[in-house]
Amino acid sequence: MTKRGTANGSFFGNFLYEQILDRRPHFLKDLAQVVDFRFVEAHCKGFYAEWGRDPWDPVLMFKMVLLQFLYGLSDREMEEQAAFNLVYKWFLGLSAEEAPPDFSSLCRFRARLGAEGFEKLFNQVVEQARSRGFITDRLHIIDSTHINARVDLFRLKKEYKGKGDGDDDDHYVDRHSPDPDARFGRKGKKKSFYGYKAHKVEDADSEFIVKVKTTPGNEPDGKLLPALIDGRAGEATGDKAYDSEANQAHLAAVGVTSGIIRRKPRPGRPRNSRRERPKIERKFSEGKNRHGLDQARYWGLAKVSIQSFMVAIVLNFKRLVKLTLAAGTVPQAA
């Protein structure tokens, strides 16, 4: 048995929410209209089998995590907002007087699902968009963006300076960092970062993110192409980091036309698909500037992977709402 919100059966009924929500538009109203969140319960059953009695309803918990990443809230801030923000309470299915799950419940929910569980939920969101005809798979764009680790890199390097043990800064930080999985990587010839990479694939026509993979910062971009580009795409494009004999052979083997920018010029005209690459850069910018993808929330690859999946889910939900309302195809059962 799970604990669900009781908004429809509360003393106030729906009267209070109707008085507030009927007065003005709100994204959460549109999201609730467009997305049937019952898919969450179906895909979380296996993760609840060994976890005690009466856990909170996974749909409610997932919605709380979704609000966190949508609005940039910590666990404690999310608990407070769910207690006092009436729009949030309505979206979560809580009555006006009902107490929400506490912040520790959010931690347990993320641990219960782990990266595997959030990946399944991400994939289900993608399939919803594909089933509605938004994702065309004409062209997939692959790229990565860096996520700075949640560590004081300046302090770590300062502690190392002058120790004279013959080691270098990078190795010292790897051994003494509170984040055991973060690594140094490069975001240009002259700039480096310490943390992770979020490798993503975007469907060019719909601008939905269709694949996500998170790695330590030192993982080469090109190495991820075989894991992220499959035979579903008609064509794939990416920058020169993805141009290798192995990657070109993989694309040919799965029947995907290569629009990868070549390291060296070749005969013939370049494919027009390369002009669409900036679409994914705009998506990365939105994820970083509005939903916290620039900085890791947690320590460890598994938890940062959850962050990458959730930011992608948020971006896809925003896109799904926009395209669904524009097309006038809101599901009747939502």
Tens of pLDDT, residue by residue over 60-72, are 999 999 999 999 9
Q: Which pLDDT belongs to residue 5?
A: 58
Distances (CA, A) of 243 to 143, 144, 217, 296: 12, 14, 19, 29
- Taking the C-alpha atoms of residue 216 and residue 139, their distance in angstroms, rounded to an integer, is 27
SS3 of residue 180 by DSSP: coil
Mean pLDDT over 132-145 rounds to 96
> Which pLDDT value is given to residue 159?
79
> CB-based contacts of 297: which residues, under 8 Å, 6+ apart?
150, 303, 304, 307
Residues 79, 94: Cα–Cα separation, whole Å: 13
**What dihedral angle (degrees, nearest 10) is formed by the CA atoms of 21, 25, 27, 33?**
70
pLDDT at 11 over 80: no
pLDDT at site 300 = 97
User: All domains of the chain, ordered by start, with CATH?
Assistant: 7-114 (no CATH), 132-302 (3.30.420)
For the cut 80, the answer to whether the pLDDT of residue 107 exceeds it is yes
Q: What is the mean pLDDT of residues 51-64?
A: 80
| The token pair that represents 196 in the structure block | 């992770």
pLDDT bin (cut points 50, 70, 90) of residue 334 is very low
Q: Provide the pLDDT confidence category of residue 234 given band limits of 50, 70 and 90.
A: very high
10 has pLDDT over 80: no
Would you place residue 172 in the very low, low, confident or very high pLDDT band (cuts 50, 70, 90)?
confident
**Strands 192-203, 235-237: parallel, antiparallel or unpaired by DSSP?**
unpaired
Residue showing tokens 């043990």: 165
In our burial notation (b when 16+ CB lie closer than 10 A, e otherwise), range 152-179 reads ebeebeeebeeeeeeeeeeebbbeebeb
| Residue 88, C-beta contacts closer than 8 angstroms, at least 6 positions apart | 28, 67, 81, 82
H or E stretch covering 203:
strand 192-203
Quote the pLDDT of residue 240.
93
231 CB burial (10 A radius; 0-12, 13-18, 19+)? exposed
% the chain with pLDDT above 90: 69
Quote the pTM value.
Answer: 0.91
Q: What is the pLDDT of residue 274?
A: 80
- Number of continuous H segments (helices) and E segments (strands) in the chain: 13, 6
Higher-confidence position of 219 and 2: 219
Distance (Å, rounded) from C-alpha 90 to C-alpha 224? 41
Q: In this model, does residue 325 exceed pLDDT 50?
A: yes
Residues 230, 224: Cα–Cα separation, whole Å: 12
The answer on pLDDT for 237 being more than 80 is yes
In this predicted structure, the answer to whether residue 193 has a pLDDT above a threshold of 90 is yes
Contact between residue 100 and residue 94 where contact means Cβ atoms under 8 Å apart: yes
Model confidence at 88: pLDDT above 50: yes
Which DSSP state fits 235?
E
